[in-house]
Every structure is written in structure tokens, then in C-alpha cells.
């Protein structure tokens, strides 16, 4: 090594010659020209710290000419302020002989351009003949890059260890990365932002935490002025973007003043790239112009990549939690719909789920009245007052009306005069508002409104969740509505049926004048016994219908027979015995009355099999008919007939008791007697 030879040469020749040589300040002795060939800095300072010699490599690193350096105070001009005191202190102690020369010493130097380089020094002290210290001679190696690599490795090690082992929240992870950027790589500010699908950049974490520059910083990554900074371009171009000097033109306009106020002079943004695109960005700032050299760019890109993968897992987890929550909400809504018969209850359950899942404060459901073209309040949760319930919104009016008309989700962060329910919203303290149309089979059913009393952050996954919810909701509501429509139709039909039946029964009574009120009375008594015997539900409905219509067949019996005030002849009796068959023929043609046929058809069958029209015996006879037979005979006996006078109740009861087990089912008679007993009390 040339340097080593030279060094040995100096040392072997003793202090005198060396001191003479070094005293020559013009450019060193010609014989030391070769020092300019060395790829290390050769520097000599006098006892006051002034430069008496520097070689070409030294000039190169400091970005100065020899003349710029020679004679200057080394520490004041070439040592960064933050370490100046310490480095100079060490130097002075050596010069005073208080400290042995430090063999190996690392400190940064400051270039003319304001950059720092890290230099590893080897020093030796030169004495004059009297043994007095006159010079320090240093040989320095630029280890900036090496040092950076070491630091990078250390940081990466620390980061990956921390991020993998510690169960850090996504935001804590992001913060850790920004902290490393500042603490280890000398930037003044670092932040990590997420590229949202709406073109905005959401700042997730920054360091230093108390740095006010990030407050209210608007940054985008779309084609707006806010998207043309390093951040926006780094995200859209998927590559690192450096702005060497924020004062120069080239895409820093919206932030220039603010950046300068915070002494931020250069910016660099590094995309955080994941498998399926750019996740976000790492943006770092320095207080010096041109801070971001190639090495640093590489390092920050690595930091950005680490941040990306560290955040990815965390966010994937968050994402899946959200999806789970959404599925649960959808499922709960499904359950509410299938499990409840009360549409209003169902709506309330649905709105609760919606509020919970979408993290809003209140929700209402407005139904479109297709006649008036107005949206009417149907249900709401989370409301404080009641006034909103009385307000209708015309189609096309306000956000809700517009959302229904245009069939798309609309939202508003601030309410304005165009909103017809402004007063109510203000009263409720709502600040954010979203209206989502409920569309089923292309038809607008209504609008789901969401309200928040704090500003709502509307993000893409939130919106797609809302969309899924409203789709499901619309189908469900459509079905509910169908159901209620059907139910309504059924009620109407039911009422129509019932009045038809009653009309028929009345028609018979008009014809068979003497039995007036008979059908009403037998219905009441029959139902009481039937309930006593454990019948319920539809059976009771059909018993009621059957009892009302039991003698409908008598409509087909000629008046001469039906109204005969005397005993019937055999032929007449044959005709009369047909009335249950006529009833059957008439009523079986009506679908909904078929289950009610037991009584009209079998009410003259007898327990012992001696009845008509089939001669059924015992339990072959349907129970409703067995019950009714008792009631019918009791009521017939206790009322006048054209062919005889009414019996007393006691006589009739005696008759029933006597015929129990012969004409009548004993179980039914027992129940009948109980009911009669209760009635008499």
C-alpha cells in the first residue's frame, strides 16, 4: 500500500523532517504529490484546528477546492454542528497532551452542499524537535455507505423482529416504521398513508408524534392539485418520487408555504406495494435540500416494503373481521325476516343490525307510497325526537328523494337548505347522512337512511357493505310486503267468506222460519264443547263454519215437506233424510269449505250406527259431527217446530242423558252437560 509506505517513511524519518514538510502550506512538498492518488482523505490540522493539508480525495468528499479548505477552522466549517463540540473537545484534549491520540474515530463531516458523510479516521500526532505537539495527521475513509448498510441491517432486524413477534396493532406497526425513519435515518418527519379508493390518502401514522405539519394535511393520489405531490405520484406511478427542493417548481405547490414554515426542504415518497396493488405510501421529509441520495432512496423503499407487508397481515385480519361482522349482520337480518310474523318488529331488528354493522347512530326506513310518490317514514332506530316520523319527502326532493329517484346511494357531509328536513336533522344533532335506495326487481321500495352525530368516514368497503345490506333488505322487504298484501287479501277474503256463510245460514233461517236463531245458538254451544274436548285452531274455525251451515241442505227440501206441521210420511222422510247429502253436494264445490263438511254431512249419524246418510258408527263419525249432533237435538227439542211444541230444558237434558251411548257419544254428552251446567250457574 502506497499510503502505508508513506506513513512508515514519515515515522522513520522522525518529527523534524515531517514538521518541515507539513509547514509548507502552498500545496505540500512535490514529493508528496502521490498523496493525491490515494482513495482516502489525508488531512492535517495545526494545534488551533486549522487545516494545513488536505489531499484531493478530501477535497472531493467535502465538495471544495483546496483553497476553500486550507487555513480554515476544520471544526467550524466541516464538522456538523450537532457533533462539533464533542469532536473539537476530543481534539483539544489531545493537543494539550491530556489524551492519547485516538487511534480510530468515526465522525460525520459536512460537505459544502450541506450533506453529511461518515468518515472513519486514523490519527497520529506530529511533534517538533522539542517534543511539542504541532500537528495532527489524519487519514480518513468514507464509510457513509457502509455505515448506512450496517444501520439498515440493524433497523431491518429490529423492525422485522418487532413486527413479527409483538402483536402490534396495524397503526402501531406503521408508527414504528416512521419512528425508525426519523431516529435511524435522520429525516425530520415521516408518515405512512393509505391510498383510499376514492383518491384520498389517509395518514395512518407519523413520527415525531407531535409534529404539526401532518395536521389537516390534504393529500390525494388522483389527478387533482393535491395528487401531484411526491405522494400522489409515488402511488399512481408505483415508484419512489423525490422532490429535491420544495422551493423549486415541480409539484409541491399546495404545500410549499406550510412545508417551509416547518423547515421541511426536501420530500421523498415511497409506494407501499402489495400483491394486488399499491396499498399506500411512506413519505419522508428532510430539512436539507437534496437529502435523498440513491442509498437512502433504496433504504426507504425497503422500509416502505416492510411497512406494507407488516400492515398487510394486520389489515387482512381487520378486513376479515369486518367481513365476518357483515356476514353476521346479514344473517341476523335473515333470521329476523324469517323468524318474525310482525313486519314492524322485523324492521326494528333490521335497523338495529344496520346501525351496529355500519357504525352509525341512527337509521330510518322510508317507504315509497306509489300513489302519492312520497317517501313515508315507516320505522327508525336511534332517533331522539319524534318529529322525523311525521315528515314526508317527495320523490326527487332532498338527498333521500334524489337517491330513490336516481336509484343510487347518496351521501352528504353537510346539510344544506335543499334538505327539506334540515330542521329535524339539526335538532337530532346529525352531521353525516347517507341515503341508500331499496330496489327489488328494479322497483323502488323506499330508502334506507343512515345518520351519524359525528363525521362519518365513507370508505369503499363500507359502501359495498351498505350495498349488500340494502340488496338483501330490499328483497326481504319486498317479501314482507307481499306477505302483508297477501295477508290483507286473505283477511278480506276471509271476511267475504264469513259473510257469505252467514248469509247462507240466514237464507235458510228465512225459509225455515221456525228455526230462527238456531244456527247462531248451535255455533256457540258447539264451540264450547269442542274446546272442552281439546280442539283448537283451524278445527274450531271449520266447526264454526260447519255448524252455521249444517242444515243448508234443507234449502233443497220442498216447503211442503220442510214446513209440514205434522208427522212425515215415509216418502217425505226419505226426501228429508237427503238434506245432509244436499249440503255435501252444495258445499264441497267450494274449496275453502271442504274442511268444514263434517258437520253438514254427518250430523245425523248416530253413535250406534242407526243414523243417516252413511250409517257410521262410534268413532267412525268425525268428532265435530258427534259434538254437533248433541247440540242440534238439544236446540231442536228446546224450540218450537212446525210438527211439535218446544220441550223444557230439563226434558231435553234428560233426553240427551238417556240417549248417551246409544244416539250420542258419551264423552261428548259428558262435556255437553258440563257446559250446560256452567251456563246455568
Q: Least distance to ligand SIN from the beta carbon of 303, Å?
A: 17
CA distance from start to end of the chain: 132
Query: Distances from the Cα of 304 to the Cαs of 203, 278, 316, 387, in angstroms?
Result: 14, 11, 18, 52
Q: Least distance to ligand C2E from the beta carbon of 503, Å?
A: 20
* Nearest partner of 136 among 119, 122, 149, judged by Cα: 122
* Nearest partner of 649 among 627, 675, 615, 617, judged by Cα: 675
Q: Least distance to ligand SIN from the beta carbon of 217, Å?
A: 6
Q: Are 181 and 284 in contact (CB under 8 A)?
A: yes
Query: Considering only residues 120, 144, 236, 283, which one is a binding residue for ligand SIN as defined by CB under 6 A?
Result: 283
Decide if residue 255 touches ligand SIN (CB under 6 A): yes
Size of site (CB under 6 A) for ligand SIN: 22
With respect to Fe ion, which residue has the nearer C-beta, 142 or 551? Answer: 551
With respect to ligand SIN, which residue has the nearer C-beta, 117 or 381? Answer: 117
Angle between helices 460-511 and 538-548 (to 10 degrees): 30
Query: Considering only residues 576, 587, 631, 671, which one is a binding residue for ligand C2E as defined by CB under 6 A?
Result: 576
Q: Are 608 and 633 in contact (CB under 8 A)?
A: no
Query: Considering only residues 96, 238, 594, 644, which one is a binding residue for ligand C2E as defined by CB under 6 A?
Result: 644
Interaction pattern, residues 512-551, with ligand C2E; x per rule: CB under 6 A: ----------------------------------------
Q: CA angle, 396 as apex, 395 and 402 as ends, to 5°?
A: 110
With respect to ligand C2E, which residue has the nearer C-beta, 16 or 644? Answer: 644
Q: Least distance to ligand SIN from the beta carbon of 426, Å?
A: 36
| Stretch binding ligand C2E (CB under 6 A), from 207-215, 425-433, 530-538, 632-640 | 632-640
Q: Least distance to Fe ion from the beta carbon of 604, Å?
A: 6
Decide if residue 633 touches ligand C2E (CB under 6 A): yes
| Pairwise CA distance, residues 301 & 284, whole Å | 11
With respect to ligand C2E, which residue has the nearer C-beta, 241 or 663? Answer: 663
Q: Least distance to ligand SIN from the beta carbon of 285, Å?
A: 7
Query: Considering only residues 382, 632, 656, 665, which one is a binding residue for ligand C2E as defined by CB under 6 A?
Result: 632
* Nearest partner of 215 among 224, 223, 206, judged by Cα: 206
Q: Are 368 and 444 in contact (CB under 8 A)?
A: yes
* Nearest partner of 598 among 547, 640, 537, judged by Cα: 547
Decide if residue 598 touches Fe ion (CB under 5 A): no
| Stretch binding Fe ion (CB under 5 A), from 253-261, 327-335, 389-397, 624-632 | 624-632
Decide if residue 645 touches ligand C2E (CB under 6 A): no
Decide if residue 232 touches ligand SIN (CB under 6 A): yes
Q: CA angle, 571 as apex, 642 and 564 as ends, to 5°?
A: 15
Helix, strand, or coil (residue 3): helix
Contacted entry of ligand C2E, ligand SIN, Fe ion, none for residue 230, CB cut-off 5 to 8 Å set by kind = ligand SIN
Burial of 671 (0-12, 13-18, 19+ CB in 10 A): buried
Contacted entry of ligand C2E, ligand SIN, Fe ion, none for residue 105, CB cut-off 5 to 8 Å set by kind = ligand SIN
Query: Distances from the Cα of 572 to the Cαs of 557, 558, 566, 604, in angstroms?
Result: 10, 10, 11, 17
Percent helix, strand, coil in the chain, to 5, is 55, 20, 30
Q: Are 599 and 546 in contact (CB under 8 A)?
A: yes
With respect to ligand C2E, which residue has the nearer C-beta, 263 or 641? Answer: 641
Size of site (CB under 5 A) for Fe ion: 2
Size of site (CB under 6 A) for ligand C2E: 13
Q: Least distance to ligand SIN from the beta carbon of 264, Å?
A: 7
With respect to ligand SIN, which residue has the nearer C-beta, 74 or 602? Answer: 74
Decide if residue 642 touches ligand C2E (CB under 6 A): yes
Interaction pattern, residues 580-609, with ligand C2E; x per rule: CB under 6 A: ------------------------x-----
Query: Distances from the Cα of 349 to the Cαs of 192, 330, 359, in angstroms?
Result: 40, 11, 15
Q: How many residues does the chain have?
A: 681
Burial of 245 (0-12, 13-18, 19+ CB in 10 A): middle
| Pairwise CA distance, residues 142 & 106, whole Å | 10
* Nearest partner of 107 among 89, 122, 93, 87, judged by Cα: 87
Interaction pattern, residues 86-125, with ligand SIN; x per rule: CB under 6 A: -x--xx-------------x-x-------------x-x--
Interaction pattern, residues 556-575, with ligand C2E; x per rule: CB under 6 A: --------x--xx-------
Q: Least distance to Fe ion from the beta carbon of 499, Å?
A: 21
Q: Least distance to ligand C2E from the beta carbon of 562, Å?
A: 6
| Pairwise CA distance, residues 254 & 429, whole Å | 34
With respect to ligand C2E, which residue has the nearer C-beta, 329 or 663? Answer: 663
| Pairwise CA distance, residues 50 & 136, whole Å | 10
Among all residues, whose Cβ is closest to ligand SIN? 229
Q: State the residues that interact with Fe ion by CB under 5 A.
A: 551, 632
Q: State the residues that interact with ligand C2E by CB under 6 A.
A: 564, 567-568, 576, 604, 632-633, 636-637, 641-644
Q: State the residues that interact with ligand SIN by CB under 6 A.
A: 43, 74, 87, 90-91, 105, 107, 121, 123, 136, 138, 217, 219, 229-232, 255, 259, 267, 269, 283
Amino acid at each position: 500500500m502506497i499510503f502505508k509506505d508513506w506513513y512508515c517513511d514519515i515515522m522513520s524519518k522522525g518529527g523534524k523532517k515531517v514538521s518541515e514538510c507539513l509547514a509548507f502550506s502552498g500545496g505540500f512538498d512535490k514529493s508528496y504529490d502521490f498523496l493525491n492518488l490515494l482513495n482516502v482523505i489525508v488531512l492535517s490540522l495545526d494545534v488551533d484546528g486549522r487545516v494545513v493539508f488536505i489531499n484531493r480525495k478530501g477535497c472531493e468528499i467535502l465538495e471544495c477546492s483546496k483553497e476553500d479548505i486550507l487555513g480554515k477552522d476544520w471544526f467550524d466549517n466541516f464538522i456538523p454542528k450537532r457533533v462539533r463540540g464533542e469532536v473539537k473537545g476530543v481534539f483539544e484534549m489531545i493537543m494539550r497532551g491530556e489524551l492519547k491520540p485516538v487511534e480510530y474515530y468515526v465522525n460525520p463531516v459536512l460537505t459544502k452542499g450541506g450533506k453529511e458523510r461518515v468518515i472513519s479516521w486514523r490519527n497520529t500526532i506530529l511533534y517538533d524537535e522539542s517534543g511539542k505537539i504541532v500537528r495532527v495527521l489524519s487519514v480518513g475513509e468514507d464509510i457513509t455507505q457502509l455505515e448506512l448498510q450496517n444501520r439498515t441491517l440493524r433497523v431491518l432486524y429490529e423492525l422485522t423482529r418487532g413486527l413479527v413477534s409483538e402483536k402490534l396493532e396495524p397503526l402501531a406497526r406503521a408508527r414504528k416504521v416512521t419512528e425508525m425513519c426519523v431516529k435511524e435515518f435522520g429525516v425530520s418527519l415521516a408518515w405512512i398513508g393509505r391510498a383510499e379508493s376514492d383518491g384520498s390518502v389517509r395518514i395512518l401514522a407519523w413520527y415525531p408524534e407531535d409534529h404539526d405539519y401532518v395536521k389537516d394535511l390534504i393529500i390525494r393520489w388522483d389527478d387533482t392539485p393535491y395528487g401531484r405531490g411526491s405522494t400522489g405520484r409515488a402511488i399512481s406511478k408505483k415508484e419512489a418520487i423525490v422532490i429535491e427542493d420544495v422551493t423549486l417548481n415541480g409539484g409541491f405547490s399546495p404545500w410549499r408555504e406550510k412545508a417551509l414554515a416547518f423547515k421541511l426542504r426536501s420530500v421523498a415518497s415511497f409506494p407501499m406495494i402489495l400483491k394486488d396493488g399499491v396499498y399506500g405510501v411512506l413519505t419522508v421529509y428532510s430539512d436539507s435540500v437534496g437529502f435523498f441520495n440513491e442509498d437512502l432512496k433504496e433504504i426507504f423503499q425497503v422500509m416502505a416494503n416492510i411497512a406494507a407487508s407488516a400492515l398487510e397481515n394486520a389489515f387482512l385480519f381487520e378486513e376479515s373481521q369486518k367481513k365476518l361482522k357483515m356476514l353476521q349482520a346479514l344473517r341476523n337480518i335473515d333470521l329476523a325476516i324469517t323468524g318474525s310474523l310482525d313486519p314492524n318488529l322485523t324492521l326494528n331488528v333490521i335497523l338495529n343490525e344496520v346501525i351496529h354493522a355500519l357504525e352509525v347512530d341512527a337509521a330510518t326506513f322510508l317507504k315509497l307510497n306509489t300513489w302519492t310518490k312520497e317517501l313515508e317514514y315507516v320505522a327508525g332506530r336511534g332517533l331522539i325526537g319524534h318529529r322525523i316520523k311525521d315528515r314526508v319527502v317527495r320523490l326527487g326532493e332532498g338527498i333521500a328523494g334524489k337517491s330513490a329517484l336516481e336509484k343510487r346511494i347518496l351521501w352528504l357531509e353537510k346539510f344544506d337548505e335543499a334538505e327539506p328536513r334540515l330542521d329535524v336533522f339539526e335538532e337530532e344533532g346529525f352531521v353525516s347522512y347517507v341515503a341508500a335506495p331499496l330496489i327489488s326487481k328494479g322497483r323502488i321500495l323506499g330508502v334506507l337512511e343512515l345518520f351519524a352525530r359525528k363525521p362519518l368516514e365513507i370508505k369503499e368497503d363500507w359502501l359495498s357493505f351498505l350495498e349488500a345490506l340494502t340488496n338483501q333488505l330490499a328483497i326481504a322487504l319486498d317479501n314482507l310486503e307481499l306477505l302483508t298484501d297477501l295477508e290483507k287479501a286473505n283477511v278480506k277474503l276471509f271476511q267475504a267468506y264469513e259473510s257469505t256463510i252467514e248469509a247462507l245460514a240466514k237464507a235458510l233461517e228465512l225459509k225455515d222460519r221456525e228455526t230462527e236463531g238456531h244456527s247462531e245458538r248451535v255455533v256457540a254451544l258447539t264451540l264450547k264443547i269442542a274446546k272442552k274436548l281439546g280442539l283448537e285452531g283451524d278445527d274450531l274455525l271449520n266447526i264454526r263454519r260447519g255448524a252455521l251451515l249444517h242444515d243448508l241442505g234443507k234449502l233443497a227440501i220442498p216447503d211442503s215437506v220442510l214446513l209440514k206441521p205434522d208427522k212425515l210420511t215415509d216418502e217425505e222422510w226419505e226426501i228429508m233424510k237427503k238434506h245432509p247429502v244436499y249440503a255435501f253436494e252444495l258445499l264441497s264445490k267450494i274449496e275453502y269449505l271442504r274442511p268444514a263438511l263434517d258437520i253438514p254431512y254427518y250430523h245425523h249419524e248416530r253413535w250406534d250406527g242407526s243414523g243417516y246418510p252413511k250409517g257410521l258408527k262410534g268413532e267412525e263419525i268425525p268428532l265435530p259431527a258427534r259434538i254437533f249432533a248433541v247440540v242440534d237435538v238439544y236446540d231442536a227439542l228446546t224450540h218450537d217446530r212446525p210438527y211439535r211444541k218446544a220441550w223444557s230444558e230439563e226434558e231435553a237434558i234428560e233426553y240427551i242423558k238417556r240417549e248417551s251411548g246409544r244416539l250420542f257419544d258419551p264423552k261428548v254428552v259428558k262435556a255437553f252437560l258440563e257446559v250446560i251446567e256452567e251456563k246455568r250457574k
